[in-house]
């Protein structure tokens, strides 16, 4: 049975909007601005950080980091106000005024948001855009860094390399992703088999909670600190900065990209990859993408190896000779230049390109879904996937993305952070379809393609629950009621897929720190209603 989209679940919301006078939104908007002027005694000092719909820069600011055009249409609900604070002390009054005026808050750090939950809502809302909170301070001696919640992964990589060529951080491949959302969902990258996730390497944070208090790890307590490192921080507050543990990388790393077509036995090579990539030396990451190119499907094996090419070739000849890797396929470089290459640039491009927030990431219409594979997929299973990739063209561009696990990922407990997809998972299997603006008149057909492939994969991926990755948000999995209460049973439909048994602990933390459910969206953690009127243990001191 096809899962309804969020828009088919908002009849109650739309009815409320249609039945209430249009002045309701305007009143809330005006009340919010009046409150800001009262709370900020020197309002002129922040007035240039507040953008209303009548401001000439409003649309530019709103669209500045939106990467999914599905949520940038004339009919997409817009915020009443956008605020771009440049200091954490400005955020508590924003929370207070949003409460006072009946507006909800959406927090945005980057905009790589597959369902637009950081900048779209079906109820009146304001956006706190953290773009100005992007300072990064690297401490080489202690191998740590404080990273502003609005920084990008690329800027973090650049600032680390600026200080040391032998330090790095295990996070995403796409450099224009915002640090805040990436870490709060777990955050995987090409170092995950060696060092785990971005969220696994966070050692402190600063968060503004629902009461407007600014807390660090000590004052927020270990329960809340656990929750924000993979449970979606937007359910619990506004994380303004993260302190991360940097990791060792060698002076020389090796990268390669090896492509095989179906006619060159790509299916057989990919089938073999499943038995090698999750168990090979943890210094070696080999991911795979596949898509249709003209009349065939191309499987592209892309890799980062923490060492030199000679050792890599020896390792590959021993454990994965089917790939046919040769010395000329390999490029020895520095870790920072590998990050440049993974971001989509020629490997020798100056690393300053990573500071460009808008680089490379294509702004288009798209839909993403994710799964986890626990037993190898047979060749016949992949052959069925190829049929879907053929069908995606020419109406859209379909891709599959396979990310190997094992190594450090298999050694970290499922409950160490809210991200539970650890031992027992061979790799993540995600699929993605994109389409251009001229093709948008039939968006539902592309989304239907994505759902159909998801259904096809059912026999080959995890079950009970069928798991998904939080940072690849998918509202097809289920949604919260945007008006009124959501039951535990409703929320657990999607919550168990992202978090498995960790969902129950997240609900407990939510109940402790935000019992009135101020920080909410269509897939936010809900408080336990039965505990609201009872004695609550508060995490913050």
Instruction: Give one DSSP letter per residue of 387-429, joined into a string.
Output: HHHHHHTTTSEEEEEEEE--GGGGTS-TTSSS----TT--EEE
Instruction: Look at residue 163 and give its three-state secondary structure.
Output: helix
Buried-state track 345-362, b at ≥16 Cβ within 10 A, e below 16: beeeeebebbeebebebe
For residue 432, give every residue at least 6 positions away whose Cβ sits within 8 Å of its Cβ, in sequence order, or none: 366, 367, 368, 369, 398, 399, 400, 401
| Residue carrying the six token digits 């401490």 | 139
For residue 179, give every residue at least 6 positions away whose Cβ sits within 8 Å of its Cβ, in sequence order, or none: 109, 110, 147, 148, 149, 150, 151, 152, 153, 156, 171, 242
The residue from 469, 472, 488, 498 that is catalytic is 472
**Catalytic residue flag (residue 7):** no
| Dihedral sign computed on CA atoms, order 471, 473, 479, 483 | positive
Which two structure tokens, joined as six digits, stand for 94?
């924003």
Cis peptide before 465 (omega within 30 of 0): yes
Compute the radius of gyration of the chain from its Cα atoms.
Answer: 23
Strands 296-305 and 397-404: unpaired
Nearest to 149 by CA among 102, 86, 93, 92: 86
Phi, psi of 81 (to 5 degrees): -145, 145
Cis peptide before 195 (omega within 30 of 0): no
CA angle 20, 485, 503 (to 5 degrees): 145
Catalytically active residues are 472
């Amino acid at each position: 049975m096809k899962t309804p989209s969020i828009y088919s679940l908002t009849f109650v919301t739309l009815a409320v909007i249609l039945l209430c006078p249009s002045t309701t939104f305007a009143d809330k908007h005006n009340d919010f601005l009046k409150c800001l002027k009262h709370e900020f005694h020197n309002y002129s000092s922040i007035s240039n950080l507040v953008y209303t719909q009548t401001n000439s820069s409003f649309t530019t600011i709103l669209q500045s980091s939106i990467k999914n055009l599905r949520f940038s249409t004339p009919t997409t609900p817009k915020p009443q106000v956008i605020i771009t604070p440049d200091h954490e002390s400005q955020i508590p009054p924003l929370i207070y005024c949003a409460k006072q005026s009946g507006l909800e808050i959406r927090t945005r750090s980057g905009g790589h948001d597959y369902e637009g939950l950081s900048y779209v809502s079906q109820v009146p809302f304001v956006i706190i855009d953290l773009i100005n909170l992007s300072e990064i301070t690297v401490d080489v001696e202690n191998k740590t860094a404080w990273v502003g919640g609005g920084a990008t992964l690329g800027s973090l990589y650049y600032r680390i390399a600026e200080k040391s060529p032998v330090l790095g951080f295990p996070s995403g491949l796409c450099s224009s992703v915002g640090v805040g959302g990436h870490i709060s969902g777990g955050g995987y990258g090409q170092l995950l088999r060696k060092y785990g996730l971005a969220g696994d390497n966070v050692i402190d944070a600063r968060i503004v909670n629902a009461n407007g208090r600014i807390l660090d790890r000590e004052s927020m307590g270990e329960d809340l600190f656990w929750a924000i490192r993979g449970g979606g921080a937007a359910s619990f507050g506004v994380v303004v900065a993260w302190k991360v543990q940097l990791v060792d990388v060698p002076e020389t790393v090796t990268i390669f990209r090896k492509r095989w077509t179906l006619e060159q036995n790509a299916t057989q090579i990919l089938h073999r990859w499943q038995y090698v990539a999750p168990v090979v030396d943890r210094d070696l990451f080999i991911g795979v993408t596949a898509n249709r190119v003209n009349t065939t499907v191309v499987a592209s094996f892309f890799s980062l190896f923490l060492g030199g090419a000679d050792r890599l070739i020896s390792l590959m000849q021993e454990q994965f000779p089917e790939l046919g890797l040769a010395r000329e396929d390999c490029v020895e470089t520095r870790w920072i230049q590998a990050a440049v290459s993974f971001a989509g640039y020629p490997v020798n491009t100056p690393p300053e390109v990573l500071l460009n927030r808008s680089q490379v990431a294509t702004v288009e219409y798209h839909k993403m879904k994710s799964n986890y594979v626990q037993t190898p997929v047979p060749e016949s299973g992949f052959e069925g996937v190829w049929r879907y990739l053929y069908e995606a063209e020419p109406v859209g561009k379909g891709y599959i993305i396979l990310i190997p696990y094992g190594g450090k990922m298999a050694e970290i407990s499922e409950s160490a952070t809210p991200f539970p997809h650890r031992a027992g998972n061979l790799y993540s299997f995600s699929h993605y379809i994109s389409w251009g603006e001229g093709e948008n008149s039939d968006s539902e057909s592309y989304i239907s393609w994505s759902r159909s492939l998801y259904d096809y994969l059912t026999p080959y991926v995890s079950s009970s629950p069928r798991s998904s990755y939080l940072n690849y948000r998918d509202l097809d999995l289920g949604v919260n009621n945007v008006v009124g209460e959501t039951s535990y049973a409703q929320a657990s439909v999607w919550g168990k897929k992202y978090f498995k048994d960790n969902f129950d602990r997240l609900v407990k933390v939510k109940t402790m720190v935000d019992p009135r459910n101020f920080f909410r969206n269509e897939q936010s953690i809900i408080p336990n209603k039965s505990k609201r009127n009872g004695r609550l243990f508060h995490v913050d001191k």
